[in-house]
Amino acid sequence: MFRKALLAAALFFPAAAQAEWHSATSNHFIVYSEENPENLKEFTERLERFDQAMRAFRLIADQPRSAGRKVTIYRFGDVGEIADLSGQRNVAGFYIPRAEGSVAFVPRRSSSMISATDVLLHEYTHDFMFSNWTGAAFPAWFVEGFAEFHATAIFRDDGSVIFGANPEHRRYGIGQVMDLPLDKLLTSNVSDLDEEQVDVLYGRGWLLTHYLTFDADRRRELGEYIGAINSGKTPQEAAKLLSDITDIGLNAYGRRPKLSSALIPADKIKVGPIAIRNLTAGEEAVMPARIRSQRGVDRKSAPAVAALARKLAAPFPNDPGAQTELAEAEFDAERYADSAAAADRALAADPKRIGALIYRGMASMELAKKNKATDAATWHDVRHWFLAANKVDSEDPEPLILFYSSFGAANQKPTANAESGLLYAYALAPHDLGLRWTAGKVLLQQGKAKEARAALAPIAYHPHGGTQAKGAQQALTALDREGAPAALKSLAAFEKEQEQKAAKGPKSGE
């Protein structure tokens, strides 16, 4: 899909293009890697062990995901290649949470202090938190502390997992009271902190999370504190519930020679089946383009990625995987007729290829918008692609979101069925902040203020919510003071303001 990248990535990864690729599919993950099947299976098993251990420790029922909701991971190359792809220096791996399928990129080879697997486990814990406590808002220190707490998991040879180990890469930040004293730790947003304070927030957040985890009375305090935040209390008001904790006491806890830990025995961890397959020749050929498409492109980089996909897919007109990637790349480059043609080729080979169905519908929708179509037949044709995709996988949020958005594209009021589908997509993918925002608006329009608050509050408190977090905060203030109509007005004003800023700024990718 058309997603903004931080910077345009380099066009070629020789290692990715030359190696033999395989995929592993488990209950919660789809992993693509340029390594041998045995190592790939071992890596995927570890991810499933991690998921299952968290569920056992946090008493969360298992929720195997349909293909459209599994986290997709690309594992290849070294740290330098991943950093180039991310557009940032010193990146060991990165993760993009989104409704159409969360995706992660990690290297096979890493020599940095924090391993790429640690990064992946940290980010997957975010996904776990927001997917399992869907209506809860959490302060920044706890979001990051909770992720650090689990990401240091120790995987034992007997199949068990231990939680509670120190994050060695956070050693500096753990004890830095002066940079982020407790009162500020409990009330700060990440956006208000400088780079050094953010590092301290991760370390001190881990320490405070650890401190509040292993004692029953402290766990109760944490529950009351989180409850206060979610009842509408300000961070300052909620922090009073933890007022007996001091920086001196927290540091003394952290200096103990041995901290508590939790052992999750192997018999509590059910990995489930893992299917390994070789990619088709077409899938393997287009992998360099697919990685860039999945990373996300902008208007500046999309044409080059589409040209690459066109070249790589050309020898494989009957390969549904290759043609689906071409459909995505052409769509991102705004070549909608070409995208539709590639999707048609993919569907001729595999009529139930859900990605091809989605891009066929998206291309049709953009062509309808371009032609300013208003007739029912055109929009019925657009929507039938999304309905067909939904029949293939009713648990995939993306067709439901697109079906709903098609009404806005047609300047029509969404039907009750479209709204219900959108809200179900939100239930399936609550980790997507943009989807939460839209769901919050729909719930406000339906007069469901309590449910709207549950949708918007996690955005307002999200440590990386940015300007969107501030917009959600403004809407919640309006909701509490004047009700749902005022909150809707606040959201609309914020959206208009952001549109105006975007219009005045540089074009995407510049």
Structure confidence at residue 509 as a pLDDT band (50, 70, 90): very low
Sequence-ordered strand ranges (E) for 46-93: 71-75
> Average of pLDDT values for 235-252?
93
- What pLDDT digit, counting tens, does each position of 381-422 carry? 999 999 999 999 999 999 999 999 999 999 999 999 999 999
Statement to judge: residues 161 and 109 lie in one domain: no
Instruction: Choose one of 237, 264, 291: the last residue of a domain.
Output: 264
* b/e code 113-129 from CB counts within 10 Å (16+ = b): ebbbbbbbbbbbbbbbb
Taking residue 245's Cβ as centre, other Cβ atoms within 10 Å add up to 18
| Rounded CA separation 494/351 (Å) | 42
**pLDDT of the residue at 118:** 83
Statement to judge: residues 173 and 251 lie in one domain: yes
Residue 446 lies in a domain: no
The encoded tokens of residue 84 equal 């180039």
Statement to judge: residues 106 and 69 lie in one domain: yes
Question: Residue 192 burial (CB < 10 Å; 0-12/13-18/19+)?
Answer: exposed
Residue 374 lies in a domain: no
78: left (phi over 0), alpha (psi -120 to 50) or beta: beta
| Rounded CA separation 293/283 (Å) | 14
Instruction: Choose one of 69, 103, 136: the last residue of a domain.
Output: 136
Statement to judge: residues 174 and 243 lie in one domain: yes
**pLDDT of the residue at 14:** 38
Q: Could you give the C-alpha distances from 431 to 46, 254, 292, in angstroms and in order?
A: 23, 31, 22
Statement to judge: residues 160 and 201 lie in one domain: yes
Residue 327 lies in a domain: no
Statement to judge: residues 35 and 123 lie in one domain: yes
Which residue pairs from 419-422 have beta carbons closer than 8 angstroms and sit at least 24 positions apart in sequence? 419/446, 421/390
- What pLDDT digit, counting tens, does each position of 106-132 carry? 888 765 555 778 888 998 999 899 889
423: nearest Cα among 440, 409, 406, 408: 440
Q: Where are the alpha helices (DSSP H) in 216-301?
A: 216-230, 235-239, 247-254, 281-285, 287-295
Statement to judge: residues 34 and 106 lie in one domain: yes
| Rounded CA separation 490/504 (Å) | 21
Residue 201 lies in a domain: yes
Identify the domain containing residue 159 by its residue range: 150-264
Does an H or E element contain 116, and which?
helix 116-132
| Rounded CA separation 148/13 (Å) | 31
- What pLDDT digit, counting tens, does each position of 42-91 carry? 999 999 999 999 999 999 999 778 888 999 999 998 888 888 998 887 77
Residue 154 lies in a domain: yes
Residue 198 lies in a domain: yes
Statement to judge: residues 86 and 58 lie in one domain: yes
401: nearest Cα among 434, 377, 447: 434
Statement to judge: residues 115 and 173 lie in one domain: no
Statement to judge: residues 156 and 209 lie in one domain: yes
**pLDDT of the residue at 19:** 63
Q: Could you give the C-alpha distances from 138 to 88, 153, 218, 226, 444, in angstroms and in order?
A: 27, 22, 17, 7, 22
Statement to judge: residues 73 and 132 lie in one domain: yes
Instruction: Choose one of 206, 234, 264: the last residue of a domain.
Output: 264
CATH code, domain carrying 91:
3.40.30.160
| Rounded CA separation 214/219 (Å) | 7
**pLDDT of the residue at 13:** 40
List Cβ neighbours of 15 (8 Å cut-off, separation of 6 or more). Answer: 34, 76, 77, 78, 81
Taking residue 146's Cβ as centre, other Cβ atoms within 10 Å add up to 21
25: β partners: 30, 275
pTM of the model: 0.88
Structure confidence at residue 179 as a pLDDT band (50, 70, 90): confident
What's the structural domain count of the chain?
2
Statement to judge: residues 93 and 196 lie in one domain: no
> Average of pLDDT values for 354-362?
98
